[in-house]
Amino acid sequence: MIFNNISMRSIPWTETAARALKRLFRARRLHLCMDERAHVFSCLADFDFAIAPRTAVPAARLAELMQRPAAELVAEDDTLRTLEHRLTGLVEDYTLHGISIAASLRQIGLVIFSKDHGWRRLFRSLLEASASNEDYLRVALERYVDYLSARRDTLRILIALRSTEEQPREARTTVFETPPLAADDSATVTSPLRRLPHGRAVMLRLEQGREVVIRLARHSFSLAHDQDWALLADDGQRYTLQRGVNTIGRSRDNSVMVSSALRNISRKHLLVETVGQDAVMLTDLSSSGTFIPPTAIAS
């Protein structure tokens, strides 16, 4: 090996870089019982690929969450946020300071992990595997944090929907009416943009054949109303909206998944619900904002 005759102490490595290099060279195959089957993973990439599908929220969990009142959803979101930060801290402690993830998880207990997708069984198997490598635990924790993030995205959507349902329509919505289209008018409504209130439904009325400029974070789109409603990107991409509730963002589990290159757009950015023939309800779920032109006085 190229490093056989070189003492690591003679090279001005940082302590963190030296630990990372040691982990790279001591990587080993992992024999693991997963989903009641024996698996052999020769590298971290194979293991990561195998568990990546577990980051989506399963349909059974979604159905259960939809039955809960808003207060319980808010409480769960707070709990998951705390857990997400705690597990991220375990990964950082291992990466930066070499603190064993396995020892930390044995001390905390596996009850913190959801049974969804067999996550709890997976971590139990990782801790029991005789050839277990800490880096496999690190990858599993990083993917589990992705699952928690997706579940929190779902909770925020349900909280927004529940809040909308539990308030009188006149109290929960601001209505923007676009003026009628005159013969010499452009079909696209443009004017200085206003940020939507976070988590509060806003009704936008738009007659058929018109478009309105809408900005997700700093990225411009158009919301078009023809036979159907559609979101139009600057590059010409057309995203048709289904009747009822649509979610828009970078995550794969959205009704409309925008390009992952648009990093300012949140994983779950905007909720769009069609209402009747000429109106949609817009609920901003993002941290960076959704902006529309206030083309009329709110009523």
- Full-model pTM: 0.58
- H or E element in which residue 203 lies: strand 201-205
pLDDT surpassing 80 at residue 28: no
According to the model, what pLDDT value does residue 166 have?
55
* 82 band by pLDDT with thresholds 50, 70 and 90: very high
- Contacts of residue 137, defined as CB under 8 A and 6 or more positions apart, other chains included, come to 101, 102, 105, 123, 126, 127
pLDDT digits (tens, 9 = 90+) for 186-215: 444 445 788 888 877 788 888 888 888 899
**Geometric angle at alpha carbon 269, from 265 and 274, rounded to 5°:** 135
Which pLDDT band, with edges at 50, 70 and 90, does 287 fall under? confident
Residue in 61, 18, 84, 47 with CA at minimum distance from that of residue 158 = 61
Give 174's contacts (C-beta < 8 A, 6+ positions apart). Answer: 197, 200, 202, 203, 298
pLDDT digits (tens, 9 = 90+) for 241-258: 988 888 899 888 888 999
Cβ atoms of 199 and 210 closer than 8 Å: no
Half-sphere exposure of 227 (CA within 13 A, CB side): 0
Give the mean model confidence (pLDDT) for residues 86-106: 93
Mean pLDDT, to the nearest integer, of 56-84?
87
Domains defined along the chain, listed by start: 8-166 (no CATH), 169-292 (2.60.200)
Cβ contact 158:65 at 8 Å: yes
